[in-house]
Amino acid sequence: MPGSVTGHLDSGALSSALISGIHRVIGEQDFLNHINVFPVADGDTGTNLSLSLGSALSVLGEKTEEQLSTLLPRIADALLDGSRGNSGAIVAQFFQGVADAAGDLQRFTPGTFSAAITTGSEYAHDAMSKPREGTILTVIAAVADAAANHVAKARDSDFPALMTAAQERAESALEETTNQLDVLRKAGVVDAGAKGFVELIRGMTDFIAHGRIADEPDLSVLSGDEAVPAMAGTGEDSEFRYCTECIVTGTDIDRRKLREALSTLGNSLLLAGTKRKAKIHVHVNEPEDVFQVARQYGNVSAEKADDMHRQAHSSHDTASRFAVITDSAADIADEDLERLDIHMVPCRLQFGDRGYLDKVSITATEFYEELSTNPVHPTTSQPAPGDFRRQFQFLASHFDDVLSINVTGAASGTYNAALSAAERVNAHGRIHVLNSRNASIGQGLLAVFAAECAHAGLSVEDTIEAVEALIPQTRTYGVLRDIRYAVRGGRVPAWVRTVAEMLHVTPFIRATSGGRIAPSGFAIGKRSATRKFAKSLVRHSRDLGPLTVAIGHANCPDDAAELEQLLRRDLPQIERLTMAELGSALGVHAGPGAMIAAIQPFTKPPR
C-alpha cells in the first residue's frame, strides 16, 4: 500500500498519525500496566499514558484547516492539562518542545520535523530534575537521534523512510532498557513508559508509511473527568509519601526559580509547561508545602496528592480478597488506616481563595486553628467523580473487587459521585459502592469492619451483606460546644444559637436511621458537658451486648480522654475503643471542642 505522506507533513496528516499512535497506546494499556515494575510494580503506567495521550484526541479529532503553528500548541496544552504521572508529564513536555520548534511553520519537511523532535527530546530531559537512562527518556532520545541521522545521510529523505528508521531505532532502544536498570533486568521486562512511547511511534508510522490508522480501541477509559490528574506511580524509594501534582497558571512563570524552590521539598521533581502554564509533579511528605510554593508563581489548580506508601502496599497485597476505600468524611484512627490499608479519597476544603485537600494538605490541628482565626468561614465540597475514578481505576487493576463505603447520601452528594465514577472505570475489578447512612466516626467504624472482613479472607458479597446488617446498628452521637460554626455553615438557624446562648445549653446531636443529622438533647452549661454526654451514651448503650466504640474530637484531646475514661467505667462490655481526630467534613459545622462517639455491636468478621 503506498504511503499517505511523502515530502511534507501537514496538520491533517499529523493529526491522523497521532490518532493512530494514541490508539495503539490505549490498546496496549493492560500490557503496559502488567510490565510496570519501575520505579515499583504499581501497575498504572499504561493507564497514565492512555489518559494523558487520550486528552489530545478531542483536539486531533476536529476537522479544521488550521496550520501546524496553531495545532501543535493546542495539542501541547491539552496534554499538559491532561498529563498523568511521570510518563504523561514527560510526553506533554516533549510535545511542548515540538510545538516551540515548529514556530510558524505551516507544514513539516523531514528536516524541520527532525529538528522539532530533537527539541522535544531536549525539553523532556530538561523537565526532569534527575533524568534516568532506561526509561521513556531513553527511547525519546533514540527517536530524535535516528531522525537526525537519517536526514543527514539521506539527501532525498521522505517521511515513510524517516519514520521507519525512527521506529527501528526506538525498538532497539526499548530492548536495551532491560539491561539499563537493575529492577528491569531482575524482572526480565522492558520499561513500561518506554514501551508506550514505542507504541506511539509504531502507530504514527502505520499511517505515515502505509496509510493505516490503528483500530480504535475501547475509549471508555477516557470518558469524563479529563481535567482530573490520575494517580501517579509510586516512588523509587520510600522516603517520601505523597505523589503531588498541580497546575500553575500565570503570565510570566519563572520556571528556573520555581524548580529551585521545589527541589528542596522532595524528589522525583518534574516541571513541565511554559511561562503561562506549568505542571508540577514531585514526591514529598508535605503536599501543602508544594502548593504554597506554587501559589507564589500564579493561580494553582488540579491539586492532588496520592499516598504512594499505601498504593505500593496494595499492589503487593495478597492477603485481602478485595480493597476497601472511603471518603475523608470518615474519621478513622491512624492505626486502623495503616493496619488495614484503608484507602481514602479526600474531600475539598476552601478558605476563601485558598483550597486544601482534607487530611492531606491540611492536618486536623491546622484546620481548627484556621477555623478559629480566619474570618472567612470555610466551605467543603465532595470529591469530584474523577477523584474517585482515579483511585478506583488503580485498585480495580489489582483487585477483583473494590468496596467503597461513603458518607450518608442524605447529607452529601459524595455517594452519588462515587457511583458515577464506578460506572466509568475500565479495569478488570468490580466496584461496589455502599451508602453508609452515617458520617464521621460511624462511617469510619463501618469502613474498618469491612477492611477487617477483607483481611479475614471474606468474599466481597458476604462482606457487603454483613456491613448492610451493621449499618442500622451503628449509632453515632455528638456534642457541640460552640454552635456558632453550625450557624455559620448554614446547618443550624441563627435563632437556635440565640436560644442556646440565652439558656447556656450545649446541644447534643445524633445520626438518624435515614442518615440525617438531628438534635438529641442538651446539657445545661459547658463545664459538665463531657460528663453529661457520657451519661447520654451510656443510657443508649447499657442494654447492648459487647461493644465497639470510637471517639472523635475536634482539637480537644483532654475532653476525649475524659470521655473514654467515663465510658470504660460505665460500659464494661466495651471490647474495643479507638480515638481519632475529627476532619474538616464534619468539623466545619461542629467547630473546635466538639466530640463525636459511635457505638456498634462488637462483631468479628464471619469466617
List CB contacts of 87: < 8 A, sequence separation 6 or more.
45, 48, 49, 52, 136, 192, 193, 196
Please give the CATH number for the structural domain made up of 11-222. 1.25.40.340
The two most distant CA atoms of the chain are separated, in Å, by 94
More confident residue, 387 or 290: 290
What 168-174 contacts at long range (C-beta under 8 Å, 24+ apart), as own/partner pairs, is: 169/142, 169/143, 169/145, 170/139, 170/142, 170/143, 170/146, 170/197, 170/198, 170/201, 171/198, 172/142, 173/138, 173/139, 173/141, 173/142, 173/143, 174/139, 174/198
Architecture of the domain delimited by 474-601: 2-Layer Sandwich (3.30)
Percent of the chain with pLDDT over 90: 49
Which H or E run includes 442?
A: helix 440-455
List CB contacts of 535: < 8 A, sequence separation 6 or more.
none
Range list for CATH 3.30.70 in the chain: 234-307
More confident residue, 425 or 474: 474
Range list for CATH 1.25.40.340 in the chain: 11-222
**Other beta carbons less than 10 A from residue 187's beta carbon:** 15
From residue 596, alpha-carbon distances to 47, 479, 502, 587 in Å are: 40, 7, 24, 10
Question: Which pLDDT does position 338 carry in this prediction?
Answer: 85
Question: Which pLDDT does position 174 carry in this prediction?
Answer: 96
Region class of 298: left (phi > 0), else alpha (psi between -120 and 50), else beta: left
Question: Which pLDDT does position 109 carry in this prediction?
Answer: 93
Which band of pLDDT confidence, cut at 50, 70 and 90, is reported for residue 11? Answer: very high
Rounded to two decimals, what is the model's pTM? 0.66
Report, as an integer, the average pLDDT of 335-340.
90
**pLDDT averaged over every residue in the chain:** 86
Question: Which pLDDT does position 315 carry in this prediction?
Answer: 57
Q: Return the DSSP state at 131.
A: -
Radius of gyration of the chain (CA): 27
Confidence check: pLDDT of 221 > 80: no
Architecture of the domain delimited by 234-307: 2-Layer Sandwich (3.30)
Confidence check: pLDDT of 409 > 90: no
What stretches of 259-399 adopt beta strand conformation (E)? Answer: 267-273, 277-284, 299-307, 323-327, 343-345, 348-351, 354-357, 379-381
Confidence check: pLDDT of 498 > 80: no
Q: Round to whole Å and give the CA distance between 20 and 208.
A: 10
